[in-house]
Every structure is written in C-alpha cells, then in structure tokens.
Structure 1
Amino acid sequence: MKKQQTSIVKDAANRKIVVVREFDAPLPQVWEAWTDKDILDLWWAPKSWKAETKSMDFWEGGVWLYSMVSLDGAESYCRADFKAIVPYKSYIGDEGFCDKNGTLRTIFRLCTGEVNSAQRIPEQR
C-alpha cells in the first residue's frame, strides 16, 4: 500500500478549509468507513480519544449523534446532519459540537466525494 497524503488548503477570505485525502482502498470499503457507525467509532476521534455513536441514521435528513471520550473520561458531544447523499460518490452534512441531547453549539459543513486535480467539491448552502 502506498503512503497516503493529506492536503489542507486554507481559504481565509471565503472562510473555508478544504481537506483532501486519497485512500489506497476499494471505493466500497472507503464508503463504508465513512457511513457505518461501528467502523466510524474505530477511527473518527483524535488520538487518545475514542468515538462512541449514540445514534446514526445515514440518509438525507438523518442525524449522527456521537461523543468523543478522552482517556480520563471527559466527554464531548457532536452531531452531524446529513443534507445530501449520492451513494458511493459523496455526502454533504453540517456537523458541530452539541450537548448530549444534540442541541448544536457550533456548525461546520462537511463535503466528501471523488476529488482529483480537475474536480473540487464546492461548499453548498
């Protein structure tokens, strides 16, 4: 397997950050890693934290409510609202920190999809 690269482009003028990562894996496996709660819980949280899904309804209009738990037991809740899904191609969602009931405090937009040098995924509002 080749080494994977992540590129991060900051666009302060438009208040955007674009993160691009190519995976050396079959598309169905990558899609499942982003859309299956059991797999997401294995990798989503930062190092020394773990993700714990409370509920996940992966469809347009669905919500993923989860927490990230630190080694010392501190817990931060997060919520993702799925806005648009094109299976095995992309999804767009709003995500942010929330309380344990899912009430959002901050929001950012996440767009996944096929990206190459000729194609970028624009933010859609």
Structure 2
Amino acid sequence: MTSKMKTKVDGNVLTIERDFNAPRSLVFQVYSDAEHIKQWWGPRGWEVTVCNLDFRPGGIWHYCMKCIDRNQGDFFGMESWGKAIYSTIVQDEKIEYTDYFSDAEGNVPEDMPASDITLIFEEQDGRTKLVTIARYVSAEALQTVLDMGMERGFSETMDRLEEHLDSVKG
C-alpha cells in the first residue's frame, strides 16, 4: 500500500497528516480503546502483546510491540516497549501526551528521546483528517528517531489504522 501521509520536518517538530474515510468519532475511539489499539498499533509484522491503557488526563498507556515476522531478520522476536502519559483529552477533537521509550516495568531510558505529541482530529464531510505533531527537545533528538526508521514504521501503522477502520465501520 502506498503511503498517504504528508510529512514535514521543521527544526525539532515533525508534523504528519493523514486522511481517513471514517467519521472523526470513530478515529478518536480507536485511539482511546485498548482493544482497538491492539488491532492496528505498530508497523507491519509487529503485534501489541501488552496494552495497559488508562485513557484520561494524567493516565498512562504502557505497551509492548513484538516482531512476529521472521522475514524481518534480526528484529524477529524483538520487543519494543513504550509509555505515554496523557495531558489533555478533548473528546473527538484532540489528544496530547508525552511519548517515551520504556522497559517492561515502565522505566524510561535517559538516552532515548521523548516527544510531546498532539493529535488533532478534524472532521471533513464524514472523513477525518488526523494531524500528528511531535515536538522533540532538539532537532538532533528528532533526527535520532528518524534515523531509527520511525517515519516508515509510522506510515505502516497509519496503513494498519486505515485497514482497521475499514473493518470496524462495516
């Protein structure tokens, strides 16, 4: 599937836009419910094996993705843990959180960049434009995650989100 994302890097800020053929309330719902997130979060060949979600301001989302695709070579069997702390939630409109790499206990490594994420859900004639704004402490911190392949992984995640939305909207 061809990427439908629009990506812009401006210093320490990464902005990504993607349109979905689904109502805004549904796109918001699949971002706010653990059972939905397990179906689409992560790049192709990875599955969410742990998804503890406390979706409220001050709440934490702690998750693990595991590579289940043998064709991904050294990544096969690898686990990648993440942690988000929500700061703002406006139903069907906006989610803000700080996104961290973590370990299984939720500890955050000091040598990995965190980002402040804003998700904006814009209704457009029954469709949804999702704008993701990721702010890093520096342009170098942003470059670190770009060099790790974050853009490709996020593009695949958005493709999986689109497929999940298609499956749940009937």
How far off is 1:51 after superposition? 1.5
Q: Indicate the structure whose relative CO is greater, using CA pairs within 8 Å and at least 6 residues apart.
A: 2
Question: Where in structure 1 are there 5+ consecutive unaligned residues?
Answer: none
Larger helix share, 1 or 2: 2
In structure 1, what residue type is equivalent to 2:120? G
Closer, same or farther: CA 73–30 of 1 in aligned 2, 3 Å:
same
**Per-residue displacement from partner, 1:80-105 (whole Å, max 9, x unpaired)?**
10011111100100011101111112
| Structure 2 residue matching 1:22: 3-state secondary structure | strand
* Distance (whole Å) between structure 2 residues aligned to residue 4 and residue 51 of structure 1: 22
Is contact 2:16–2:132 with CA below 8 Å preserved after alignment? Answer: no
- Structure 1 segments of 4 or more deviating over 6 A? 120-124
How far off is 1:115 after superposition? 4.8
How far off is 1:54 after superposition? 3.6
After superposition, residues 1-125 of structure 1 pair within 5 angstroms as 5-12=4-11, 15-71=12-68, 72-105=76-109, 106=112, 107-115=114-122
- Report the count of equivalent residues: 117
How far off is 1:29 after superposition? 1.1
| Structure 2 residue matching 1:113: 3-state secondary structure | strand
TM superposition score normalised by structure 2: 0.62
Is contact 2:117–2:132 with CA below 8 Å preserved after alignment? Answer: no
* Distance (whole Å) between structure 2 residues aligned to residue 61 and residue 101 of structure 1: 18
How far off is 1:5 after superposition? 2.8
Q: CA RMSD in A?
A: 2.4
**Per-residue displacement from partner, 1:59-118 (whole Å, max 9, x unpaired)?**
0000000001011322111001001111110010001110111111231121111359xx
TM superposition score normalised by structure 1: 0.82
In structure 2, what residue type is equivalent to 1:91? I
| Structure 1 residue matching 2:20: 3-state secondary structure | coil
